[in-house]
Amino acid sequence: MNRSDPAPSGARLWADLHEVARIGATPRGGCDRQALTALDGEARAWLRDRALALGCTPLLDRFGNMAFLRPGSDPARQPVAFGSHLDTQPTGGKFDGVLGVLAGLEILRALHEAGAETAAPLLLVNWTNEEGARFAPPMQGSGAAMGIFTPQQVLDTRDPAGARFGDELARIGWGGDDALPDMAAYLELHIEQGPELEREGLSIGTVTHALAQRWYEVEVTGESAHGGSRMEGRRDALMAALPLMAAVEALALEHGGRGTVGQLRIGPGSRNVAPETCWFSVDTRHGDEALLARMGGELRARAAEIAAARNVRVEVRDFWHSPGQPFDARLCGFIRDAARKRGYAAKDMPTAIGHDAVYVARRVPTAMVFVPCHGGLSHNEAESITPEWAEAGLLVLADAVLAAAE
C-alpha cells in the first residue's frame, strides 16, 4: 500500500466529534454519557452504523467491548488495534475518550475511500466503562479483556443505586459473546488532560509510560450528637475526617505525587446532627512505586493519630492499584517519526492518568499520542481543544498505525 493514498480528514473528524457530542449533551456544553446508560447505547449504535458502512466486521464481547475488524492482505498477522472509549463523566467534555475512537473511525474511512489495503488487519476498539464514573473502578472493559479483572468482578460490579453491571449491559442490549482477537499492537489518541503541551506550544505528546496509582476508601466512625450539644467530648466523624483529607493533598505535595479526594458521604446527614460516619475516596499517583507506597503508609499513620486524638475509629482500605507501566519503544518511535515528518512540535511525556492503553500494555505492545487541551481542563463541561490539535493527533495516529500495520 502507498501510505500517501489514504487522506484522513481533520474536518470530518471535527464534525463527527460534535455530532456525537449531541448524544448526552448537557446545558453547559458538555456530555453526560455514562457507561451502560441508554445514551451510551445510542453512541455505540452511531459508531456501529458507520463502521459497518465501511465493510468492517463487528465484534462484541461479554463485557460490551466493541471492535470493528478491517482485513489485511496477510490474514496470518494479528491486527493492529487502536481506539479509546465513548463513555463520559456525569459532567464530562466533548473530547475525552471519544477523540481516540472517532479518529480511528476516520482512519478506516480514509482507507476505505482510497481502496487501500494494509498488510496487517486493523481493529478499531471502543472499550466499556473506561471512566468508572458509574461503575468503579475505571477501565473495566479493557481490564477484563486483558485478564486483569475476572469476569465476575466486572459483571457483578454495582453502581451507587445498586444496579449490576451485567444486568445494565443486557438492558441496553450491548452484551455479546465474541472474543476480541489477539493484537499485534495497540495505539490510543487522547487529549492530554494536563497543561504541559499547550503551555509549551506543542501539538503532540509521545506518551512513554504511565504513573502508578493507588486508590483507597476511608471510613471514619464516631458518634452522632445533637447540634445543640456541648462541643467538648464530641466524636464528630466529619471533623475528624477533614484533617485526614487535607493530609492527602499535603502528602502529594511533599512527595511530588498526586492526591485527590473525589467522593464524600456523611451520615446520618441531618442539619442539626454531628455526623456519626464519614466515608471518602482517596486517589494517589506517582511515578515512583516506592514513594507511592510511602504516601499510603503515611496516610495510614496520620489516620491512626487522628483516631486516637478524637476517639473515633478510622479504617483506610485498599481499593485499587495500577502499577507504573512503560509503553512500547518501537511504537513510540513511530509516533515520534510521524510528528517529525508532519512538522509538529512534540515531546516525550508520561501520563498521570489511567487509560485503557495502560491495561492493554500489560499484554500487548502499546503506545499513546497526546494532543493539548485548553488549560489542561478535562472531566469538565468546559473541556476544549482546537480543530488543529484534533487534526494533528489524527494524522500522527494514522501514520503510526500504518507504520505498525506494514
Burial class (CB in 10 A: 0-12, 13-18, 19+), 42: middle
Percent share of the chain, pLDDT over 90: 96
pLDDT value of residue 209: 95
Helix (H) or strand (E) holding 244: helix 237-255
> In whole angstroms, what is the distance from residue 213 CA to residue 365 CA?
21
Q: Where are the alpha helices (DSSP H) in 81-150?
A: 98-114, 140-145
pLDDT value of residue 353: 86
> In whole angstroms, what is the distance from residue 254 CA to residue 248 CA?
10
Q: What is the mean pLDDT of the chain?
A: 96
Up-side HSE of residue 31: CA atoms within 13 Å toward CB?
Answer: 31
Up-side HSE of residue 346: CA atoms within 13 Å toward CB?
Answer: 27
Q: C-alpha angle with apex 219: 216 to 220, nearest 5 degrees?
A: 140
Nearest to 25 by CA among 124, 92, 123, 110: 92
Residues 376-388: tens digit of each pLDDT: 999 999 999 999 9
> Which grid cell sits at 1?
500500500
The model's confidence at residue 91, banded by pLDDT at 50, 70 and 90, is: very high
Q: C-alpha angle with apex 82: 376 to 141, nearest 5 degrees?
A: 80
> Which grid cell sits at 146?
486483558
Please enumerate in sequence order all residues whose Cβ is within 8 A of that of 143, keeping only pairs 6 or more positions apart, or say none.
149, 154, 359
Neighbours of 317 (CB within 10 A): 10
Q: Do the Cβ atoms of 97 and 142 come closer than 8 Å?
A: no
Q: Which CATH architecture has domain 212-322?
A: 2-Layer Sandwich (3.30)
> Which grid cell sits at 353?
492518568
Kindly state the average pLDDT of the residues 384-397: 98
The model's confidence at residue 334, banded by pLDDT at 50, 70 and 90, is: very high
Q: Do the Cβ atoms of 208 and 332 come closer than 8 Å?
A: yes
Ordered by start, the domain boundaries in the chain are 10-211+324-405, 212-322
Distance of CA 191 to the CA centre of its chain: 11
DSSP structure string for 260-284: E---EEEES--TTEE-SEEEEEEEE
CA dihedral 300, 306, 308, 314 (to 10 degrees): -60
Q: Do the Cβ atoms of 189 and 125 come closer than 8 Å?
A: no
User: Is residue 275's pLDDT more than 60?
Assistant: yes
Kindly state the average pLDDT of the residues 161-190: 98
The model's confidence at residue 3, banded by pLDDT at 50, 70 and 90, is: very low
Range 10-211+324-405 has CATH code 3.40.630.10: yes
Kindly state the average pLDDT of the residues 296-308: 98
Q: Do the Cβ atoms of 353 and 161 come closer than 8 Å?
A: no
One-letter-per-residue 3-state SS of 324-388: CEECCHHHHHHHHHHHHHHCCCEEEEEECCCCHHHHHCCCCCEEEEEECCHHHCCCCCCCCCCHH
pLDDT value of residue 354: 85
φ and ψ at 188, to 5 degrees? Answer: -135, 130
Q: Do the Cβ atoms of 272 and 226 come closer than 8 Å?
A: yes
